A and B are shown apart, each in its own frame.
Chain A
Amino acid sequence: MSHGNMNLTLKVWKQKNKDSKGRFETYDAKGISPDMSFLEMFDVVNEQLISSGKEPIAFDHDCREGICGMCSMYINGRPHGPKGGITTCQLHMRSFNNGDTIVVEPWRGAAFPVIKDLAVDRSSFDRIMSAGGFVSVNTGNAKDANNILIPKDDADTAFDAAACIGCGACVAACKNSSAMLFVSAKVSQLSLLPQGKVEKQDRVLNMVKQMDEEGFGNCTNTGACEAECPKSISLENIARMNREYLGASFTQNKK
């Protein structure tokens, strides 16, 4: 189904670096095919900007198939644009109409400082992972597969949580810039499995501590994160983290 090519107006956040003050700049996107992805539309605009000697718009992207989580764009008031369950690279221009004005902003949050234009620094997520998002394994011979039996339900729930790509849309969508959905998905994917269970108390305490130190906001249970998550990570993970944190805080047998 072809709508014919579209002409659009883009209002894009331009910011030189972390310390400078940004502002919106208006661009014309002409002759955009409805079959293009949102990122390909940006490629076309950038090509035109480069050939006319202007500075292109900086934006993050990598796999362009919805699994890397890099394409952080807040489009017309929603992370990853108007469609649910997708990343920006999976958003097609047929979701827009000829003549539309599209406002594109970077993720907003104290813990996600802007690097340039639409690219933000999400290393706060990496530091949360370093604080406990792993399983400690002694090196040595690899164990036989399936020597630890895992109930199907647990494996499925853990896998659903592990689908999180760490894109930060949950933080971007949350009115408080809370990272609870991301952290709870990472806590859950490990603590649901026998290999991760043994360290679950230290993990949840350390990861939540790091999350708070990074300056993310608090969870108000609006559910915006779950609604905007490209991988549809469930709020059940947040409740699981809440009760694990409560249990670990009061029963951890240290100091």
Chain B
Amino acid sequence: MSKKSGFLSSSIGKKFLMGLTGLFLISFLVIHVTLNSFIFFNDGGATFNAGADFMAHNPIIRILEIGLFAGLLLHIFQALVLTLENRKARPIGYAVVKGSANSSWYSRSMGILGSLLLLFLVVHLSNFWVPTKVAVFNHTAHDTFAGMKAVFSQWYFVAIYLVGVISLLYHLLHGFQSSFQSLGLNHKKYTPLIKALGMWFSIIVCLLFAAMPVTMFLGIIK
């Protein structure tokens, strides 16, 4: 046990946990975007609501949800610890930094992008997660699709969601492939595949997410 805590308190161990929780959160995105894409059947939300109802009541999903929040909190906590340590590692900064010469802006901005995502999550959970929980707690039926339509009929929510999705896109563009490197997985043959997969995954998932508020706002999805 002491050996394990030693690993997790090391710089490499902390990054390992960051990558592991990151990939876990990515696996959740796959489920989330798949289920939400049911709205594109454009059947008045019948398929989507059936899926949402399953997710809200299935006991296995309920247990996994606890794991999801634990993973999210761990990811945020580690990010804070790492950021504070990194600040301490350079007490006096440079007057001139030409970061664009050696790295992408989003790889250097994971903390800011993550903070934007956290702010977005507060809005997002209060829009959808809280009403669903209240309904489950009160044993009342909940029309999640109607809730979506109500939220996405307001332009400012559409704007907030688009900012959230763009933050997610850039967070994923770096995070997906970076997590593999942190786990020690780098290979001449597979790393280019992981990088390509990460790029396409980020773009496709974010396009699908962005399409949801936009199509609802424009009345394409009824």
Interface set of A (CB-CB < 8 Å, partner B): 11, 24, 74, 76-78, 82, 103, 105, 108-111, 173, 175-178, 180, 208-209, 211-212, 215-224, 227-228, 235-236, 238-246, 249-250, 252, 255
8 additional A-B residue pairs with CB within 8 Å, beyond A175-B90, A176-B90, A177-B86: A110-B89, A208-B12, A221-B174, A221-B182, A222-B102, A235-B181, A240-B184, A249-B3
Interface bin, chain B: 35 or more
CB within 8 Å for A223 and B10 given contacts A110-B88, A249-B3: no
Q: Which residues of B contact A215 (CB under 8 A)?
A: 88-89
CB within 8 Å for A78 and B11 given contacts A110-B89, A236-B186, A240-B184: no
Tell yes or no: B59 within 8 A of A by CB: no
Q: Which residues of A contact B98 (CB under 8 A)?
A: 76-78
Interface set of B (CB-CB < 8 Å, partner A): 3-4, 6-7, 10-16, 82, 85-86, 88-99, 101-104, 107-108, 110, 174, 177-178, 181-186, 188
Whether B7 pairs with A250 at a CB distance below 8 angstroms is yes
Whether A217 pairs with B184 at a CB distance below 8 angstroms is no
A226 to chain B: closest residue by CB: B102
In the complex the two chains form, what is the Cα distance from A219 to B179 in whole Å? Answer: 11
Q: Which residues of B contact A178 (CB under 8 A)?
A: 11, 86, 89
Q: Which residues of B contact A11 (CB under 8 A)?
A: 95
CB within 8 Å for A227 and B102 given contacts A105-B94, A218-B11, A242-B12: yes
20 A-B residue pairings within 8 Å (CB atoms) = A76-B96, A76-B98, A77-B94, A173-B102, A218-B11, A221-B174, A221-B178, A222-B107, A222-B174, A224-B99, A227-B102, A235-B186, A239-B184, A239-B186, A242-B12, A242-B183, A246-B12, A246-B16, A249-B3, A252-B3
